[in-house]
A = this chain, B = another copy of it.
């Protein structure tokens, strides 16, 4: 692991990417909740989306504390996040649940892995934003009950989760190729290029664990 100073120009880009991610996730969750077969599911998704907005407020404050405009800082990340969501639009309730759980998990793994190299003020923001919420318990229970004894449903969701993971990595690499400061931040945080490979291996391992928790 490397280390990063508090004035690294990639930090504000990281905040922008995270903040834009919260807003995009908020709207996607709200839209995808249309598949919920019951009020309980609609409320659970709304509460997850509410958590995204609490996290957004943290980032909004962290960005303005650095004297920057949140909208300007978020703008470069809108298209790539939209592209991720467009290419992973669920068409069923189980797909919606798996996406909410797996997508959030992949993002959290990535940011938490690199945050250990951050100065404490930045690490606190990132960890506060990515703290897992109790709502994901609901997703685990719901998905497990759907795939229990239904191998066709389980196989479909396994493919779906693989696609989510692949798309997330594709878009992450695209962003790092475009945003020099952010790429330099990830490189500094990881130590060197070899450690970036280790980072992606570790994300794959955590993704596999998460799939097991879903019964997939």
The yes or no answer to A47 lying at the interface (CB within 8 A) is yes
CB distance from A77 to the nearest CB of B (A): 11
In-complex Cβ contact of A53 among B31, B47, B70, B71 (8 A): B47
State whether A78 and B46 are in contact (beta carbons under 8 Å apart), knowing that A26-B30, A30-B31, A53-B53 are contacts in the complex.
no
* A interface bracket (residues with beta carbon within 8 Å of B): 20 to 34
Beta-carbon contact of A50 and B42 below 8 Å:
no
Using an 8 Å CB-CB cutoff, how does the interface string of A22-51 with B read, 1 for contact, 0 for none? Answer: 010011001101000001101100110110
In-complex Cβ contact of A39 among B42, B52, B56, B71 (8 A): B71
Beta-carbon contact of B49 and A56 below 8 Å:
no
Other than the known A39-B75, A43-B70, A54-B54, what 9 A-B pairs have Cβ atoms closer than 8 Å? A23-B43, A23-B46, A27-B30, A27-B46, A30-B31, A40-B71, A47-B53, A49-B53, A50-B56
